[in-house]
């Protein structure tokens, strides 16, 4: 059976409806919004209504935006008002002609619906999903549904491999003139665990190539990129990143700036708002970025603990297996390390506070947090072994020597300079000390609540916001002794974090000393 | 362990930041958006950024809105621009003082995250979720995640009962001065199956009380409320609905207008966009509205078929069991009927086209669709028996007599008049006949594709849009014979539907006759 199709229809479709672009000066973050007058002939002829998904076409570029309808005089009848994100995505100027039409049905979403009914994703389906995400065809509710369908352990190994490949396929892929290119990653969930900023200069100082790209925070108060950004620019373009690595052997750049896994960058925004974890999305996110960055040998740190992102040793082992198996399928040497996730690493939480800890270790200050220093040495040592710069069991000694000699600190300064220049740390305008009401020995710390507290204070967006934690496990507190210091960039945020602290009774647990 | 909290913090929080309301004239559909100048002191003091979730407080009302940041002269520094939905929700006027503060963390969403990790919802969690939804605290991505977590068969019976109770608890509940109050529902998925508009006048003419509330379309080209709306007003307030039922014994109103299950109304908007089905959400949606509407006896029609919403007899039986068990827990007499879901009912698909079929049956026209007529008589008969107006096995004869005598048609006209007056059917400006290319006997019809076609043409928003289907199962087609006629209210939508039809080769399947 088939349908008679009048030949005229496609001709009309190809022409579409053309309006003049106008920047409205409305910042909707990453949301592409187009504003049209309700009484515009285009709205009426096309049957557009508020929240319609509309394709905006300008030259070779097509993006999908959500329609907001203006009843007022914000716009002329023949204008298409653009939010800042739409404006950037189309790269237009005031008056540029933009063609508008209904977005095509989202075919790839059928696979998401099928997945929810128990049918696994296949390779082609996930590639189509990734392509549609990167083309901006997934609205927020589609992204949220996809993330939910992939949450927890709902993706199996084959799906995880397919998703990783799909994410690599829809982004850029870097190549390096070296046989061994190392990388590291921490699955996160442990506030303050900023070892990357130490590991990169140590191994680069020893001659390994480490073009490190990091994400910004997903559900934490600071990602590696957020912390590095208070010390030096991280939004490098591919060519800049190449130059930094050529000169210094390593870099610490924001992955989103080089579009190594752009589908992941889009998913992360919604994952962050939902605070949903997913083994499959995590593995695909991490490994797609490593493959795209051109890494050959990857060390992955998996801290586990009752209130860490990974809550048990068993879960950590499962994740390690998944990472190693998926890495193998993609031609990567992946080694995972399970580590202690029972408390924050270092004292600072939030971009600037964590950067302070990193600088103290690099400079060999007496007050440098020893836990952060030791973790970095262990990881750098393993990476030196994995990358062939040290024999089995000899890596950590080489790392220690590189740190103590000042070579790592000089390398870090060199990397910052190459990335655009080292920066002064930002200062928080507002701070507040929270004190212990009862005395006793600290026997447990709630990482998640500390993270929430730092986020409510404004981290990671407000770089100076966060906290310094003064009571690691084993500390014997007396009543009135400082427990932590909160930092914020606005009084409103400080107040907001304090309100939260007031309602939480178990940031730390004490026992009689 | 506890935290020292300086007493000043709460005092500051209570004061908040006050701005003047201003209607910006931007229609974002149901999305509550607030627009602030980036350089406004409030934005800076509170650390608000684009997409922040912000509580707007005006008198006793608090709503949660999403922030869009204006860089331009759209607003004054001390103004809070409001989208139409925010404006309506707050009920303010230009210049009314509105207080702004960060939205509190969404505590109830923790239960959704836990559910995704396999922990079932408990009663308290679902009540908190429903309360937060009605208060507007769930953003679209939270709603999408909740719907996804509840999709398919992910809610068990206990959760479904708890969700139904929660939905009832957060809305209004009607009471009627009668011991027996009947209701009916069709789980849908069968285009054109508009029996409610026939059943209500038949049973009301026989003396039963039937205060029918219906939803608008969720994933279909027309819901009962959409079809009724082309014939009479359906957005009745509670008091209007009471008056109509007092006068006529029955009504056909839009449920959203009387806020009988407002949480469901909010979920439905996102379910519609995602086209996701869920047994648990379906049962809670249907039964919460019946309980809230004050029904005591409910008949539920479950059409099943390969391309209906319910795809197999087994799935239909499961759903029937769930509906009956959940009804029992809520004190409702629920009876389910499984029916044929292999093809559309009647010829029309879309509000106005379906209304034409209903009128033909009520008026006893020769060209009235017999399948729609017969289904309505069966259901009305069962409802007359369930409600005690006819002995077992006698209901259908009473229904037939009521239809043939013209009593049902007079009752329908009375109901329309009581609801605000019968309307003229809207006319579509554009139509296009699609013809069969090959001849043969029609052996299968894809309900879903026909629905999609009608939706692409503009249904249900454009009331005159949709299609008339000319080739029911068993029809022997010759090449060039009309298969269906498409109707649209704009050339753009007609073109859009035609584009879809062109790419679909199996709207109907034919075999050699």
- For residue B219, the number of C-alpha atoms closer than 13 Å in the C-beta half-sphere is 19
Tokens for B464, please give them. Answer: 């005159």
The helix/strand/coil state of B159 is helix
Q: Which of A71, A116, A488 sits opposite B276 (nearest CB)?
A: A116
| Neighboring chain B residues of A436 at a CB cutoff of 8 Å | 1, 4
Q: What pLDDT digit, counting tens, does each position of A330-383 carry?
A: 999 999 999 998 888 999 999 999 999 999 999 999 999 999 999 999 999 999
Answer for the pair B346, B354: CB distance below 8 angstroms, yes or no. yes
The helix/strand/coil state of A23 is strand
Distance of CA B103 to the CA centre of its chain: 29
The helix/strand/coil state of B254 is strand
Tokens for B388, please give them. Answer: 């005690």
Do A394 and A294 reside in the same domain of the chain? yes
d(CA B394, CA B401): 11
d(CA A245, CA A252): 9
Mutation pick from B1, B6, B490 vs chain A, by most beta carbons of A within 10 Å, is B1
Tokens for A108, please give them. Answer: 């790839």
Q: Is B279 left (phi over 0), alpha (psi -120 to 50) or beta?
A: alpha
Q: If you count DSSP H runs as helices and E runs as strands, how many of each does chain A have, helices first?
A: 19, 19
Whether residue A26 is contained in a domain is answered as yes
Inter-chain contacts counted by CB atoms under 8 A, chains A and B: 245
Whether residue B408 is contained in a domain is answered as yes
Whether residue B61 is contained in a domain is answered as yes
Tell me which chain A residue has its CA closest to the CA of residue B118. A152
Do A481 and A387 reside in the same domain of the chain? no
Q: Which residues of chain A have pLDDT under 50?
A: 1-15
Interior angle at CA B224, CA B221 and CA B230, nearest 5: 85
Do A234 and A367 reside in the same domain of the chain? yes
* Alpha-carbon distance B402 to nearest alpha carbon in chain A (angstroms): 41
Q: What pLDDT is stored for residue A261 in this prediction?
A: 85
Distance of CA A331 to the CA centre of its chain: 24
Please give the average pLDDT of every successive group of 10 residues along chain B, which has 513 residues.
Answer: 35 60 91 91 78 91 93 88 93 93 91 95 98 92 96 94 97 92 88 92 98 82 93 94 96 86 88 87 94 95 88 94 97 96 90 97 96 96 97 97 98 98 94 90 89 90 94 92 94 88 81 81
Whether residue A268 is contained in a domain is answered as no
Do A355 and A413 reside in the same domain of the chain? yes
Residue B460's H or E segment, with its range, is none
The helix/strand/coil state of B224 is helix
* Alpha-carbon distance A267 to nearest alpha carbon in chain B (angstroms): 12
Do A205 and A318 reside in the same domain of the chain? yes
- At how many degrees (to 10) do helices B123-134 and B140-149 cross? 150
Of B67, B102, B137, the one marking the end of a domain is B102
| Neighboring chain A residues of B44 at a CB cutoff of 8 Å | 490
| Neighboring chain B residues of A496 at a CB cutoff of 8 Å | 13, 102
Q: What pLDDT is stored for residue A16 in this prediction?
A: 55
Do B406 and B293 reside in the same domain of the chain? yes
Residue B277 among the catalytic residues: yes
Q: What pLDDT is stored for residue A11 in this prediction?
A: 30
Q: What pLDDT digit, counting tens, does each position of A170-229 carry?
A: 998 899 999 999 999 998 768 788 999 999 999 999 999 999 998 887 678 888 999 999
| Neighboring chain B residues of A115 at a CB cutoff of 8 Å | none
Of A67, A102, A137, the one marking the end of a domain is A102
Whether residue B299 is contained in a domain is answered as yes
* Cross-chain Cβ contact A141/B274 below 8 Å: yes
Residues 6+ positions from B379 with CB-CB distance below 8 Å: B184, B195, B199, B299, B301, B337
Q: What pLDDT is stored for residue A476 in this prediction?
A: 94
| Neighboring chain A residues of B505 at a CB cutoff of 8 Å | 1-3
**B45 vs A: CB within 8 A:** yes
The answer, yes or no, to whether ipTM is higher than 0.85 is no
**A12 vs B: CB within 8 A:** yes
* Cross-chain Cβ contact B492/A46 below 8 Å: yes
**B508 vs A: CB within 8 A:** yes
Q: Which domain holds residue B208?
A: 182-260+286-419
The helix/strand/coil state of A501 is helix
Whether residue B3 is contained in a domain is answered as no
Q: Which of residues 443-482 of A touch B (CB under 8 A)?
A: 452, 456, 458, 461-462, 480
Within A387-446, residue ranges assigned H as helices are 395-404, 407-418
Do A414 and A442 reside in the same domain of the chain? no
Residues 6+ positions from A511 with CB-CB distance below 8 Å: A440, A441, A443
d(CA A380, CA A58): 48
Task: Compute how many other C-beta atoms are within 10 angstroms of the C-beta atom of residue A391.
Answer: 10
Whether residue A133 is contained in a domain is answered as no
**A17 vs B: CB within 8 A:** yes
Whether residue A396 is contained in a domain is answered as yes
* CATH code of residue B440: 3.90.1170.30
Beta strands across the sheet bearing A476-477: A476-477, A440-445, A508-511
Tokens for B53, please give them. Answer: 């979730």
The whole-chain average pLDDT of chain B stands at 90
Do B231 and B364 reside in the same domain of the chain? yes
Residues 6+ positions from B374 with CB-CB distance below 8 Å: none
Do B307 and B386 reside in the same domain of the chain? yes
Domain total of chain A: 3
Q: What pLDDT is stored for residue A150 in this prediction?
A: 96
* CATH code of residue A385: 3.40.1030.10
d(CA B159, CA B290): 18
The helix/strand/coil state of B78 is coil
Q: What pLDDT is stored for residue B257 in this prediction?
A: 78
Q: What pLDDT is stored for residue B505 in this prediction?
A: 67
Do B323 and B448 reside in the same domain of the chain? no
CA distances (Å), origin A337, targets A94, A248, A384, B4: 53, 27, 14, 38
Of A102, A129, A154, the one marking the end of a domain is A102
* CATH code of residue B62: 2.40.40.20
Q: What pLDDT is stored for residue A9 in this prediction?
A: 33
Do A470 and A436 reside in the same domain of the chain? yes
Do A298 and A442 reside in the same domain of the chain? no
d(CA A236, CA A214): 12
């Amino acid at each position: 059976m088939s349908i008679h199709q009048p030949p005229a229809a496609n001709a009309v479709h190809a022409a579409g409806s053309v309006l003049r672009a106008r920047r409205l000066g409305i910042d909707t973050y990453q949301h592409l919004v187009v504003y049209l007058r309700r009484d515009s002939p285009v709205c009426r002829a096309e049957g557009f209504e508020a929240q319609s998904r509309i394709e905006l076409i300008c030259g070779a570029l097509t993006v999908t935006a959500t329609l907001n309808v203006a009843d007022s005089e914000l716009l002329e009848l023949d204008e298409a008002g653009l939010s800042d994100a739409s404006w950037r995505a189309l790269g237009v100027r005031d008056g540029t002609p933009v063609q508008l039409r209904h977005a095509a049905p989202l075919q790839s979403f059928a696979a998401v619906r099928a997945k929810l009914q128990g049918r696994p994703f296949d390779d082609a389906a996930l590639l189509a999903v990734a392509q549609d995400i990167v083309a901006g065809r997934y609205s927020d509710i589609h992204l949220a549904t996809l993330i939910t369908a992939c949450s927890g352990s709902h993706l199996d190994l084959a799906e995880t491999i397919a998703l990783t490949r799909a994410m690599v396929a829809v982004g850029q892929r870097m190549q390096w003139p070296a046989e061994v290119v190392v990388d590291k990653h921490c699955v996160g969930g442990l506030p303050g665990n900023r070892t990357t900023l130490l590991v990169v200069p140590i191994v680069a100082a020893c001659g390994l190539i480490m073009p490190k790209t990091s994400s910004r925070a997903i559900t934490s108060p600071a990602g590696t990129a957020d912390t590095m950004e208070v010390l030096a620019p991280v939004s490098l373009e591919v060519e800049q990143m190449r130059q930094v690595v050529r000169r210094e052997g390593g870099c610490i750049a924001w992955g989103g700036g080089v579009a190594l896994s752009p589908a992941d960058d889009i998913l992360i925004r919604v994952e962050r708002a939902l605070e949903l974890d997913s083994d499959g999305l995590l593995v695909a996110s991490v490994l797609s970025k490593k493959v795209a960055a051109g890494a050959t040998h990857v060390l992955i740190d998996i801290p586990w603990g009752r209130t860490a992102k990974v809550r048990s040793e068993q879960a950590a082992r499962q994740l390690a297996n998944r990472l190693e198996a998926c890495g193998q399928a993609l031609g990567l040497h992946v080694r995972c390390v399970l580590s202690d996730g029972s408390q924050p690493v270092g004292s600072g939480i939030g971009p600037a506070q964590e950067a302070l800890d990193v600088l103290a270790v690099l400079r060999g200050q007496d007050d440098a947090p020893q836990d952060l220093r030791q973790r970095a040495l262990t990881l750098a040592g393993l990476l030196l072994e994995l990358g062939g710069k040290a024999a089995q069991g000899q890596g950590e000694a080489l790392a220690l020597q590189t740190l103590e000699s000042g070579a790592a600190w000089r390398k870090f300064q060199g990397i910052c300079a190459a990335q655009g220049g080292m920066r002064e740390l930002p200062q928080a305008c507002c701070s507040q000390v929270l004190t212990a009401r009862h005395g006793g020995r600290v026997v447990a710390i709630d990482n998640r609540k500390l993270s929430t507290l730092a986020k409510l204070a404004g981290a990671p967006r407000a770089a100076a916001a966060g906290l310094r934690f003064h009571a690691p496990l084993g500390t014997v507190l007396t009543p009135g002794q400082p427990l932590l210091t909160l930092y914020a960039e606005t009084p409103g945020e400080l107040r907001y974090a304090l309100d939260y602290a007031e309602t939480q009774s178990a940031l730390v647990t004490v026992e009689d000393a």
